[in-house]
Amino acid sequence: MTIELFLHLMNKISNIVIFASGAGSNATNIVEYFKNNSAVVVSGICTNNPKSGVLTLANQNDIKHLVFTKKDLQKDVIVDEFLNETSPDLIVLAGFLLKFPQRILKNFHNRVINLHPSLLPKYGGKGMYGIRVHEAVVEAQETLSGITIHYVNENYDDGAIIAQFSCQIQAGDNPVHLQKKIKTLEGLYFPSTVEAVISKINTKP
């Protein structure tokens, strides 16, 4: 039984809220993946970057969105009100660069997940994002890299791992080559892993 059929039979719609800081490629993949799904809906998109590509994505798909500052996130007003309005079953961090506040993690226990572009625990932590990760991996002459989808806790890239998917690093690969391979993995596996997490949430007693 698919999650769509299960949730349809349960007459429940699951909501996802996406947080992103950059161009929004992973947010786009998730929105497209669930676009024709009657049981799972992207109900909100949040960004701390007023120039982020996710705002165009939100407008094109008529998704409620919020632009906020780092200070807004640290307080308990604007962002919290948005989450109350959109009522997410799952919060997905898709290229979101700010540390997520403890109060939201407490309110959404085990319902905030993140994608990191390496095989954690390697090449994670503060400052390790985007091309920086791939530069570090190539410099260390690793032969394998990949993506990690994990629960979010109070520390950067430290929460329990949900799933990992890997790719080979060939001789001559530079950070840009590796970044393209990682983007391919993200497109293939991130949305379906999000779906699996939602299914797990909804089948809990």
Q: Rounded to 5 degrees, what are φ and ψ at 67?
A: -110, 130
Q: Give catalytic residues, as residue numbers.
A: 116
Burial class (CB in 10 A: 0-12, 13-18, 19+), 119: buried
Closest among 127, 123, 130, 129 to 144, alpha carbons compared: 123
CB 18 within 8 A of CB 46: yes
Could you give the CA distance from residue 139 to residue 106 in angstroms, rounded to a whole number? Answer: 37
Task: For residue 13, give the amino acid letter.
Answer: I
Beta bridge partners of 20: 47
The helix-helix angle for 175-203 and 131-139 (nearest 10°) equals 120
> Between the CA of residue 170 and those of 127, 132, 146, 177, what are the distances in Å?
25, 19, 13, 9
